[in-house]
Structures are given as C-alpha cells and as structure tokens.
C-alpha cells in the first residue's frame, strides 16, 4: 500500500523540500537517451561551451588557469579542442578549486559532498542544485533500466550504515528510498543472517551494493544453500566484477547484474542497460575523454561535468581507466558506452577473528573523519596486524593519533595490533593507480576471504 504513495507523492515532496527539481529533467532524459550519437555530441559541445564560458567569467581558479595556458572560451570549436586545457587533478581540487565557489553561489545554494575517493585523498565538492537535480534524474533513469523505481523496497550492501539513525532520517527513508542495509564494515554471519531475513520478509525487487561485497553475499548464500533469494535485478558498483563473480551473483539471486560506474564528485557516470553490452555514459551531463591511442587497452578517463556551475570540474582526472565500446547497442540508445572500467582496486582486510572488512567501505571512515591525514594506505600481512602508511598534512596532531586508534578499535576490534609509517607519498602502481587497502595474508589472494568466514 505504501509503494504508490511514495512513488506518486512523498518521494518528490521530500526532494522538493531539499531543493531538487526533477520534473523538467525526467521527460528530457527519457527522450535524449535515444538521440543519435551525432545529436548527442552536438548537445555535449553546446553544453561544454556554456560551462567553459561560465567558468572563465565566474570562477577565479579557471580565469587563472585559462590565462596561464593561453586558452580562451572562443577557442573551443569542437570537442577535441578541450585537450588544449591541462588536466584537473585531485590535488588541484583539494588545494585550489574546492576553496571557492563560482560568483553568485553561496553555501546555501549548493549540495556539499565529501569523499575519500578511490585514491584515498579526501575531497570536498559543491554541486549546485540545478546540476544535482539533473544528476538525480539521470540516476533515476539508469535505475529504471534495472527495474528500480521510486517507491520500491531496496536491499543495499553498503558501508558505514550500522549506526544509530535519528527518527527523522528513518521516516525520510521510509517515505523515499525505502532501503535497508547490510553494513560492509560488519560483514559477519549474524549481520548477514539478519539482512537475509529482511530480504525474505520484505521481498525487495533490487539489490544494490559494492560489487565484491555483493559477490561475497552471493557466496555466503550458496555455501549455506539459501535458494529463496530471487530478485528482479542486482546493481553493482564501486568495483570491477570478474565474469566468474557476475555469474555467481546471477545464479544465486536468479537475476541479471547491472554494473554501474560513478563517483561522489560527478555522481552517476555510466551503467548497463538491459542488453548488457557495456555501460552507457550519462552523456547529457558529462563529457568523457580517453587518453592514449591504443583503444584495445585501458586508457585514462578524463571527465568534464557539463552542468555544475558552482564548482566546475573541467578535464577532471578521476584516477580510473576504461575501454570504450564501439558500435551500436541493441537497445537503440545513442548514448556512448564504456566496455569496461579497469583499475579500481580495494582489497578486503580482516579482523583478527578472520571476519572480512571491505577496504573501500572504510576509506571515508579513516580519511575524511580523522584530521591531519592527507592520504592513507593500509597493508595487512597477518590477521592481527596492520601497517598504516600515512601522508600527513599540517593539521596532524596527537588528537589525530587518538582518533586513529579509536577508529582501528571500532572497525577491527581490540585485538588488532598496528604500526604507523609516515611517508611523503603513497607509491602508485605501474598504471598510476593507488590502492587504499592491500591484503598480503599468506594463502589469501587479493579480495579473497577465508573459506568459511
């Protein structure tokens, strides 16, 4: 009985109260997904010119940047001309761009986001509400491809959710997302069993979560012969799924997997449609470049946000690599596609008792909420021992150490021992990727849990 009330009344009412206006975007995005590739590129060029011109006029960071490289908005005649601008790095965002909003925007005019990011560097991003509304509508559209509609129950495998929630937030959830969670920081049998009990009782059509932890849940269900957890769809995100992991998830939940790619700074970037021939890019709001000539190999992804005027992200190096998908999708949509995203990696770590903790789930817990940590990497060689490689900034203090110790005890338990190594930088892989967590416990492969945890 609640589903139609949420879908047609309370869902939009709460969004409007928070400053979102999705109505104008829903119909437009439904139509534009079927534009021809040529028409979509023309739309991207138009919006790219607008955001470049706006940034030049209204944001001091870009005025300086354009002047330094001798670029003028009028120089942008085609999409390829954007390459004349330097890349926007996470350090640029952290040290320069995030300190200022564009002219005419104040704190009340934007949605504030903080993220540890896949590189472990804490970032602050501001998104104006017109842009946030478009992104929210795009997420709705991509959800609908997987059968996820407003008002439906949602089972979610996510991090840092097992904590007291004020009654106002619980009410909002009941009248909007209708989601219940399995906290990936507490991925043990009691929590899994409680989550599965709710799945059986509430019968959500869709399961959403971090890809590898959804796979771990599927493994658990298969090991314990739980064959009554059928769904309409499974949406996976945050990590790359192997073909074997996808097959396991689909077999256990008797539902297709819809893989998704996004980040806090840009929101949804790309996701699979019902044809599963790659991930369609949200081309109406983003322009994605692939750096490098060899299309058969993963190339660095550089993304420009076409709509966020409060804090423009122009040629943003997100830190991931991808392969473009060529040819038309059988679904008929003209949106460009990513064949795959390669390069995101965050290993499972373990408590001394052998309970797995998903690395990406604790990224924000350690990086964002502990002052003075500029970047962090955790390496584990034994179940009862962790190594923390820490790049400090000027605000690092004894209070930072106290907060770090408290967080370690909270996440890994009182038996966990650890050592700290202060470093100038975190070593990256040969592809320039950074791994927040690395598990090197003998006998365990990367992201592989104990046999019966």
As separate numbers, helices (DSSP H) first and strands (DSSP E) second, the chain gives: 13, 19
C-alpha torsion sign, points 299, 363, 411, 426 = positive
Q: Is the model's pTM score more than 0.85?
A: no
Q: E strands within 80-139?
A: 110-115, 123-128
pLDDT, mean of residues 59-84: 95
In the chain, what percentage of residues exceed pLDDT 90? 69
CB 365 within 8 A of CB 160: yes
CA nearest 357: which of 334, 380, 341? 380
Identify the pLDDT of residue 94.
Answer: 82
pLDDT, mean of residues 37-49: 98
CB 315 within 8 A of CB 131: no
Convert the pLDDT of each residue in 289-317 to its tens digit: 999 888 888 899 999 999 999 999 999 99
Tell me phi and psi for residue 59, to 5 degrees. -130, 125
pLDDT at 96 over 80: no
Report residue 83's pLDDT band, with 50, 70 and 90 as the boundaries: very high
Convert the pLDDT of each residue in 146-178 to its tens digit: 999 999 999 999 877 877 889 999 999 999 999
According to DSSP, residue 310 is labeled: S
Distance CA 381, CA 441 (A): 4
Distance CA 212, CA 347 (A): 9
- Structure token digits, residue 393: 């900034």
Report residue 3's pLDDT band, with 50, 70 and 90 as the boundaries: very high
Identify the pLDDT of residue 346.
Answer: 55
Report residue 118's pLDDT band, with 50, 70 and 90 as the boundaries: low
Report residue 120's pLDDT band, with 50, 70 and 90 as the boundaries: low
Domains of the chain are: 147-255 (3.40.50), 348-439 (3.30.300.30)
pLDDT, mean of residues 40-60: 97
pLDDT at 432 over 70: no
CB 263 within 8 A of CB 274: no
| Kind of pairing between the strands at 233-237 and 206-210 | parallel
Q: Looking at 89-103, 124-138, 187-201, 295-309, which range is the least confident one?
A: 89-103
Convert the pLDDT of each residue in 337-349 to its tens digit: 999 887 554 568 8
Identify the pLDDT of residue 447.
Answer: 40
Mean pLDDT of the chain: 90
């Amino acid at each position: 009985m609640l589903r139609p009330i949420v879908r047609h009344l309370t869902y939009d009412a709460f969004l409007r109260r928070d400053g979102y206006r999705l109505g104008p975007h829903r119909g437009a995005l439904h139509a534009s997904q079927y534009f021809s590739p040529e028409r979509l590129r023309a739309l991207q060029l138009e919006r790219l010119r607008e955001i470049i011109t706006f940034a030049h006029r209204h944001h001091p960071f870009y005025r300086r940047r354009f002047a330094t490289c001798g670029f003028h908005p009028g120089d942008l005649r085609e999409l390829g001309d954007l390459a004349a601008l330097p890349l926007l790095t996470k350090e640029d965002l952290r040290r320069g761009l995030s300190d200022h909003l564009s002219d005419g925007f104040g704190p009340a005019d934007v949605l504030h986001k903080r993220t540890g990011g896949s590189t472990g560097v804490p970032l602050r991003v501001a998104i104006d509400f017109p842009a946030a509304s478009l992104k929210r509508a795009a997420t709705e559209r991509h959800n609908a491809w997987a059968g996820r509609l407003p008002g439906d129950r949602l089972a979610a495998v996510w991090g840092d959710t097992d904590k007291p929630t004020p009654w106002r937030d619980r009410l909002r959830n009941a009248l909007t997302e209708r989601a219940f969670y399995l906290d990936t920081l507490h991925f043990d049998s009691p929590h899994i069993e409680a989550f599965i009990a709710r799945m059986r009782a509430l019968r959500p059509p869709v399961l959403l979560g971090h890809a590898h932890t959804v796979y771990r849940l599927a493994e658990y269900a298969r090991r314990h012969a739980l064959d009554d957890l059928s769904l309409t769809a499974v949406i996976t995100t945050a990590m790359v799924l192997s073909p074997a992991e996808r097959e396991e998830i689909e077999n256990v939940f008797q539902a297709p997997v819809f893989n998704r790619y996004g980040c806090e700074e840009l929101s949804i970037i790309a996701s699979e449609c019902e044809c599963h021939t790659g991930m369609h890019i949200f081309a109406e709001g983003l322009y994605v470049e692939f750096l490098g000539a060899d299309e058969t190999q993963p190339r660095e992804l550089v993304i420009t946000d076409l709509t966020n005027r409060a804090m423009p992200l122009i040629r943003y190096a997100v830190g991931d690599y991808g392969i473009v998908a060529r040819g038309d999708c059988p679904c008929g949509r003209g949106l460009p596609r990513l064949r795959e995203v390669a390069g995101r990696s965050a290993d499972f770590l373990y408590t001394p008792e052998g309970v797995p903790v998903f690395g990406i789930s604790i990224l924000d817990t350690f990086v964002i909420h502990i002052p003075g940590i500029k970047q962090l990497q955790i390496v584990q060689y034994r179940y009862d021992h962790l190594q923390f490689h820490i790049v400090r900034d000027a605000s690092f203090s004894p209070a930072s150490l106290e907060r770090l110790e408290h967080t370690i005890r909270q996440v890994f338990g009182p038996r966990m021992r650890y050592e700290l190594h202060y470093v100038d930088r975190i070593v990256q892989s040969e592809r320039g990727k950074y791994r927040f967590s690395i598990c090197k416990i003998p006998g365990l492969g990367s992201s592989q849990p104990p046999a019966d945890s």
